[in-house]
Amino acid sequence: MPGNRLAAGLAAALMSSILSFPAMADPAELVGRISGSTIAVISDGDFVGQTYATGRLAPREAGHRDLLTILSIADGRLVSGSLPLSNSVTAAPEVLALTRDGRTAFVTERLGERLEGGDTVADLPPGNRLFAADLTDEAKPRLADTAELAAFPEALAIGPDGRLVAVVSNTAEASFLQIVPYDGGRFGEVTRIDLDELGVRGSAGGPRGGVTATNVQWHPSGRFLAVNINTQNRVAFFELTDEDGRPGLRPWGNIVETGADPFVGRFTPDGGFYLTSDWGRNFTATDLAGRIPDRPSAISVIRLADRTRRGDDARHERIASVETDVAAEGLAVSPDGRFVATVNMRGTAFPTDTDRFQPEGTVTLLAFDSSAGALTKIGDYPFEGVLPEGGTFDLTGDHFLATVFHGHDGADDSVGSGLEVFHVIKGDNPALERLGRIPLPHGVHHVDIAGGQ
């Protein structure tokens, strides 16, 4: 049923679930509004918001863990489960994705698990794993399989049929796009392609010639992929090929220039456009204040070539840039393509005793006209918390969920780590209406929704 409206008895069921939520919150009612049978959330237990400024990891005595959390509806009751899975907030939010049926969650780790005696970011080892979690029993998610990737995987995406996972990694030597088959609960052989071989090359000094891939997305057709090269302000597009039974790639059209630092991106549901969230960081800066901009980020709108065009005959074009809010990281498009949202950290990661500190992040809501490729900002909607990064619309587009890494010191659990839930008001005067927060373990940085309505 649309909305998955819960009976009143769900609050009692929640109390006996794996997670323990604060009494002042009503997560059962909030989850009951959301369309989709499975909600997956990833949490990084190693970092706190000010780790970016201090380099110090979370205190060991806090007991935080890297964790995959699953919320679902089964037989009219709310079920929750968790599975320890290594992950890192230092990547793009796109380190977590669900298959469309909600039966499998994929997670990757840019940095590995905290070692004994490690107390700083420099002590964390490189990550190199892709995990598949079986969610057949949502109350008891289990690790189904693990694949080995090139070091420092940055983001992943699942093909429309759920059988291919794409991952980008950035080692000291090269940026790689990897295609990993998944079938019957097992990963197949990893196909690893150096982006240099696909025409994505750098000329600057430093690792990889200045190339860093931060996002990969599948076109709705399953035939094409987009890769964001945020250090070069570019997006490259590739076509999937069959190389003697193994997946291969070839360039699809031109590489497109965007605004500064296109960290993440999304295809529109009709496959006609690709949108990037251009964060705008300064990569030459040596401190947090210099790196994080104090001006609004923006969204680039790229009109894609006709799908019948191949190779150099395909021409993509950036047709617009629209401002959002400061330090926009997460990006989402509603299922019907009518709305776009960014999750904006603003100054929430700065120490509280600095001029740049702000207690609230925001969600920016925009309207999208797919007939013209026109994107129009509607407004910014504030909420309290540290490092809001990832976000998603639910399956009907009636609600938007934004992640909150943790609350500010001294804040109560109603504004602590979790999912901030908004109602999407549609019609002639669209807007977001804040409904409340679903409390979750420390370190929430991405969320995905799937399954039946």
pLDDT band for position 26 (cuts 50, 70, 90): confident
Mean of pLDDT values over 386-398: 97
- pLDDT exceeds cutoff 50 at 8: no
pLDDT band for position 248 (cuts 50, 70, 90): very high
Residue-level pLDDT at 79 = 84
Mean of pLDDT values over 402-431: 91
Residue-level pLDDT at 17 = 35
Per-domain boundaries in the chain: 10-450
Strand partners, 444: 43
pLDDT band for position 1 (cuts 50, 70, 90): very low
- pLDDT exceeds cutoff 80 at 413: no
Could you please report the per-residue DSSP string of 187-213? E-PPEEEEGGGGT----SSSGGGG--E
pLDDT in tens, 227-240: 999 999 999 999 99
Give the percent of the chain with pLDDT over 90. Answer: 81
CATH superfamily of 10-450: YVTN repeat-like/Quinoprotein amine dehydrogenase (2.130.10.10)
pLDDT in tens, 394-404: 999 999 999 99
State how far the Cα of 63 lies from the Cα of 427, in Å rounded to an integer: 46
pLDDT in tens, 70-123: 998 666 667 899 999 999 999 999 999 999 999 999 999 999 999 888 899 999
State how far the Cα of 144 lies from the Cα of 159, in Å rounded to an integer: 19
Mean of pLDDT values over 198-203: 90
Instruction: Kindly tell me the burial class for residue 415, based on how many C-beta atoms sit within 10 Å of its own C-beta (0-12, 13-18, 19 or more).
Output: buried
- pLDDT exceeds cutoff 50 at 363: yes
- pLDDT exceeds cutoff 50 at 5: no
CA distances from 430 to 193, 382, 415 (A): 43, 16, 25
- pLDDT exceeds cutoff 70 at 25: no
- pLDDT exceeds cutoff 50 at 344: yes
Q: What is the DSSP letter of 24?
A: T
Phi, psi of 414 (to 5 degrees): -70, -15
- pLDDT exceeds cutoff 60 at 11: no
pLDDT band for position 27 (cuts 50, 70, 90): confident
Are 34 and 423 a contacting pair, CB within 8 Å? no
Mean of pLDDT values over 315-340: 98
pLDDT in tens, 257-307: 999 999 999 999 999 999 999 999 999 998 999 999 999 999 999 999 998
The pair of structure tokens assigned to 347 is 């100054």
